[in-house]
Chains A and B, each alone.
Chain A
Amino acid sequence: MTNDLVVPAIVAVTLATLGIGFYGLRLARTTSDFLVASRVVSPTWNAAAIGGEYLSAASFLGVAGLILKYGVDVLWYPVGFAAGYLALLLFVAAPLRRSGAFTLPDFCELRLGSRRLRTLATVFVIFIGWLYLVPQLQGAGLTLATLAGSPYPVGALVVAVVVTANVALGGMRAVTFVQAFQYWLKLTALAVPAIFLALQWQADGRPAVTPPDGPTFRTATTVVVEHRAVLTLPDGQSRLVNPGDELTFAAGEPVPEVSGAATSTTDWLLPSTAGSDDRGLFATYSLILATFLGTMGLPHVLVRFYTNPDGAAARRTTLVVLALVGVFYLLPTIYGVLGRIYTPQLLVSGQTDAVVVLLPEAALGAGTTGRLLAALVAAGAFAAFLSTSSGLLTSVAGVISTDVLGRGSVRGFRLATVIAGGVPLILALNVSGLDVSQVVGLAFAVAASSFCPLLVLGIWWRGLTDAGAAAGILVGGGAAVSAVLITVLGPPLSGWPATLTAQPAAWTVPLAFTVMVAVSLATRGRTPADTGRTMLRLHAPDSLRL
């Protein structure tokens, strides 16, 4: 069942992206135009662009998929993704803009005057950027494969090529307009189908989301299993299923319990409770810490702040972003919840990330309305892949061109873009079994354990030294990176070791802060001589023009 409107919708989004990129290219003439949009981008455009850049595959597809699978406990993902902007606003936005730092490595050098720390920060920016890019490309491959039946590599390849070309040719000015356009596209692409879905749910007589006997199939359904799992059938028998297995269910038959997912109503509907589920509670707090504090350390988020004219504008822009992002995150919950009713087969097949793109046709039927809405959602999903990848690529390429290639020219930036886009593409083509939202969550954990303490202490504490910062990033960030590598590449774990590596932030963030403060105190003699001047620059009101 492929939808013939999906490919035209995706082509239209891609062409619009390239078109706006080309329009920006005509305006971009100098290197400074290219890299920081000459700081003439208006706050509203800038806020929409930041929102557009931020709402990635994880937000557009992953959050709804997680809610479908796990229920109330994962509502912390959207809350945390939005709250990250509040932490950014409270502790970082205005001083960071006043510092004049364009990238995180710039901030290291400006505040602590250390080239070695700069290099360390560069390595982390590239790692986080690539860790975040891989799931975007995978999401593209998955969406196109699900809706248009194309082989998995096609979607990933399309997004990688379009984005690399657009960033290399248009630079950031073009990207700003593209991103702002894509925020509104993404919002529309989730909001309009959500209204139709809600009406359909009313028309169907408001079927219960959590029927007392557990979810059932509304229509006769054939499921092709994608991930190995153990199913517990209603008669109590359990059965191991492998990828490729086909299962057939009659209409009205209950959905079997799937290992790993919260199929039973209570698990899905109610939060973890103390005693019975301490690991669940730890994971929840770890997730909160990673998302609240990780946003400020994401390389593509930071770059945007330089396009604000001054610190006060950066603060106001951040507030608008918080509101825009908050409005968007009201929507994925609707998809996750209605997915319990209309697409329970995804629980069995394991492809919960596809709920947003499959739900319109599943609920409204394969008539014109259903197909049009499915095409709209697919267009929005592609906007998500394109915009987040553009932002990440711009910042990773910026860091590679200035810190690795050592050239500030437009040509160097273009070469760097090709390198920055090529590596994650190769990774995405070779590893396809990763869960979109989990990898993004890990990127947040690494950012929260490395750059968050650096920024917060660097901005508010005079006592920070280069040695302290480097030690904190190496120990805290290094611990988070190890946890990521164990989770992604290592053997499957269970119990506490699994929780501590899958959601590492609750121990790596305090570790990073502690090491950073302790080593700074031990190396007190190394505080830069110009700390007073830097603090003045970071905190003095813009209107004084000191």
Chain B
Amino acid sequence: MLAEVSGRRHRAGGARTELTQQTRVGETLIRGLVRAQLALALQLSAVVLVGLGGLPWLFAIAPSVGRMTVLGVNLPWLLLAVLSFPFLVAVGWTYVRLAERNEQDFTDLVQRPER
């Protein structure tokens, strides 16, 4: 495995070497990726924090919202027991798409031919 990696290192060169040799350039590259992925994760957590985490607070300060009914079902029941699950899946799906895009951008940057 190590031999394979070091063999490849000689051939590929460029940004790949910067990464594996942990030069300052390589370090900056990977820090950028980590920051982008963390920012993405935090942004989507904020969406959930407001979208779901805000509900108990909303019901607590505005009891009338809790008493509203939609199709004969009280709003809190509808939101929590039914709609929260598709909401979570949608956030997860968005994350997977955007995280993969971040990684693709990083890969393109690293594998860009040297000029």
Q: A502-546, CB under 8 A of B: which get 1 and which 0?
A: 000000000000000000000000000000110110011101111
The 5 A-B residue pairs with the shortest CB-CB distance in the complex, in nearest-first order: A326-B85, A271-B59, A541-B103, A75-B80, A274-B60
A539 touches B86 (CB 8 A): no
- The A-contacting residues of B in range 46-76, CB under 8 angstroms, are 48, 52-53, 56-57, 59-61, 63, 66-67, 74, 76
A288 touches B53 (CB 8 A): yes
Q: Tell me the smallest distance from the CB of A325 to a CB of chain B, in Å.
A: 8
B16: chain A residues at CB < 8 Å are 544, 546
Tell me the interface secondary structure of chain B in the complex: helix
B30 touches A312 (CB 8 A): no
A318 nearest in chain B by CB position: B92
Interface status of B96 (Cβ within 8 A of chain A)? yes
A532 touches B82 (CB 8 A): no
A90 touches B19 (CB 8 A): no
A319 touches B76 (CB 8 A): no
Q: B94-109, CB under 8 A of A: which get 1 and which 0?
A: 0110011001101100
Q: Tell me the smallest distance from the CB of B46 to a CB of chain A, in Å.
A: 11
Residues of A bordering B, CB below 8 Å? 72, 75-76, 78-79, 82-83, 85-87, 89-91, 94, 269-274, 281, 284-285, 288, 312, 315-316, 318-319, 322-323, 326-327, 329-330, 333, 460, 532-533, 535-536, 539-541, 543-546
Q: How many residues of B contact A (CB 8 A)?
A: 51
- The A-contacting residues of B in range 1-42, CB under 8 angstroms, are 5, 8, 16, 19-20, 22, 26-27, 30, 33-34, 37-38, 41
A332 nearest in chain B by CB position: B81
Residues of B bordering A, CB below 8 Å? 5, 8, 16, 19-20, 22, 26-27, 30, 33-34, 37-38, 41, 44-45, 48, 52-53, 56-57, 59-61, 63, 66-67, 74, 76-77, 80-82, 84-86, 88-89, 91-93, 95-96, 99-100, 103-104, 106-107, 110-111
Q: Tell me the smallest distance from the CB of B27 to a CB of chain A, in Å.
A: 6
Q: Tell me the smallest distance from the CB of A478 to a CB of chain B, in Å.
A: 26
A536 touches B38 (CB 8 A): no
B77 touches A75 (CB 8 A): yes
A72 touches B74 (CB 8 A): yes
A82 touches B88 (CB 8 A): yes
B22 touches A90 (CB 8 A): no
Distance A533 CA – B20 CA, assembled complex (angstroms): 8
Distance A235 CA – B72 CA, assembled complex (angstroms): 31
A541 touches B30 (CB 8 A): no
Q: Tell me the smallest distance from the CB of B106 to a CB of chain A, in Å.
A: 6
B96: chain A residues at CB < 8 Å are 89, 315-316, 319
B59 touches A273 (CB 8 A): yes
Beyond A274-B61, A326-B89, whether A312 also contacts B100 by CB under 8 A is yes
B92 touches A536 (CB 8 A): no
Q: Identify which of A86, A91, A288, A535 gathers the most chain B CB atoms within 10 Å of its CB.
A: A86
B45 touches A90 (CB 8 A): yes
Q: Tell me the smallest distance from the CB of B97 to a CB of chain A, in Å.
A: 10
> In the complex, which of the residues B30, B59, B84 contacts A79, with contact meaning CB atoms closer than 8 Å?
B84
B53: chain A residues at CB < 8 Å are 285, 288
B89 touches A330 (CB 8 A): no
Distance A541 CA – B81 CA, assembled complex (angstroms): 37
B92 touches A319 (CB 8 A): yes
B80 touches A541 (CB 8 A): no
B8: chain A residues at CB < 8 Å are 545
A540: chain B residues at CB < 8 Å are 19, 30, 33, 106
Distance A270 CA – B58 CA, assembled complex (angstroms): 12
A270 touches B63 (CB 8 A): yes
Distance A76 CA – B100 CA, assembled complex (angstroms): 30
